[in-house]
Amino acid sequence: MNTTFRKLGKVCAAVLLALGMVAPAQAAYPEKPITVIIPFGAGTGADNNFRAAQPFYEEALGVKIVTDYKAGAGGVVGANYYMSTRPDGYTLLFYNFPHISLQQVFQKTSYNTDNLVPIVSSVLFDEIITVREDSPFKTLEDLIKYAKENPGKVTVGNTGSYSSNHLTFASFVKETGVDMVRIPFENGTKLNVALLDGQIDAACSNAQWLTTHKGKIRALASASKERIIEGVPTFAEYGINMDGCTMFNCLIGRADMPKEALDYLTSRLATLRDNKDLAASIARIGSTYGFQDSNDLKETIAKMDAKVESLKDTIKATAD
């Protein structure tokens, strides 16, 4: 009798499954490679930073990661494309903050800090103000003093509108009350060429360019919490509040992705916090190691969003 019922049960289950009334057992996430969209070209700073972290991410997750480049419009094209992919946890985005915080306010995008979830970040880009080595501005005080005495005369370059460099510029002019002219450039390479050629007086940039142009440009101040360059003070030492002006690359997921996938990604990648080999890999490419897990990032991004909101008028007034 029991045998008959068991056989009958198996037959019914098979029929229901065939009719789509019973779902097959779900395989544990992840069961296949994960694709990461990089909204910049191959060989860019973001790509190099991801490649330095990629083997450690793969080891922590237990699967291979495949990169897919979708460059255009300073990252907007790739980030918008990401929002058209399936939110199944098998496609992620590697993008920058504060770019997202700025772009969601000033540009038409399909992404924002509500429909994206930060997963992990391993790199920080400390914002700095630089000049040529032979510039008459030897200190930040020299630059501020001249700018106040000569409104609209000082030209300061940075990379594109609604970028971290733009946020740094807007924060600096609002904090100091100086009247300077912002000159946008397509990328950091062109920005520094213009600085070296004397086309601009100063640049809002990040610390990695000091290594690229060693002995040719120098920093006047950094937005870091502590001194990161020998002999170069922080903005805070001048009483200038530049909190929220540090850029970072971030591995990002969709808010509507399966909870199982998100929990796995955030918990597994959080285990890399004290990984010395990851830190060394980041350092080898000239970037600054700065690990943030998902919880860290949510707090950081909330502060960044507030920073953008407080500077909204200044940012808009200085956009190209």
Q: Which pLDDT does position 220 carry in this prediction?
A: 97
Q: Which two tokens stand for residue 71?
A: 């460059």
Identity of the amino acid at 148: K
Residues of the chain with CATH 3.40.190.150: 34-125+247-313
DSSP class per residue in 55-71: HHHHHHHTS-EEEEE--
Q: Are 83 and 55 in contact (CB under 8 A)?
A: no
Multiple choice CATH, 127-245, 1.10.260.40, 3.40.50.2300, 3.40.50.10580, 3.40.190.10: 3.40.190.10
Give dist(CA 24, CA 21) in Å, integer.
10
Confidence of residue 26 (pLDDT cuts 50, 70, 90): low
Q: Which pLDDT does position 212 carry in this prediction?
A: 75
Composition of the chain by helix, strand, coil, percent to 5: 45, 20, 35
Task: Give 148's contacts (C-beta < 8 A, 6+ positions apart).
Answer: 177, 178
CATH architecture of 34-125+247-313: 3-Layer(aba) Sandwich (3.40)
Higher pLDDT, 275 or 165: 275
Q: For residues 126-145, give the mean pLDDT.
A: 95
Q: For residues 132-152, give the mean pLDDT.
A: 97
Q: Which pLDDT does position 41 carry in this prediction?
A: 82
Q: For residues 10-19, give the mean pLDDT.
A: 47
Give dist(CA 273, CA 293) in Å, integer.
8
Span of 90-104, 157-171, 192-206 with lowest mean pLDDT: 157-171
Give dist(CA 103, CA 182) in Å, integer.
18
Higher pLDDT, 40 or 44: 40
pTM, full prediction:
0.81
Confidence of residue 214 (pLDDT cuts 50, 70, 90): confident
CA-derived radius of gyration, the chain? 24
Give dist(CA 186, CA 128) in Å, integer.
18
3-state SS assignment for residue 218? strand
Element housing 147 (H / E): helix 140-149
Q: Are strands 127-132 and 217-222 parallel, antiparallel or unpaired?
A: antiparallel
Identity of the amino acid at 120: V
Question: Which residues, in sequence order, are bridge partners of residue 249?
Answer: 96
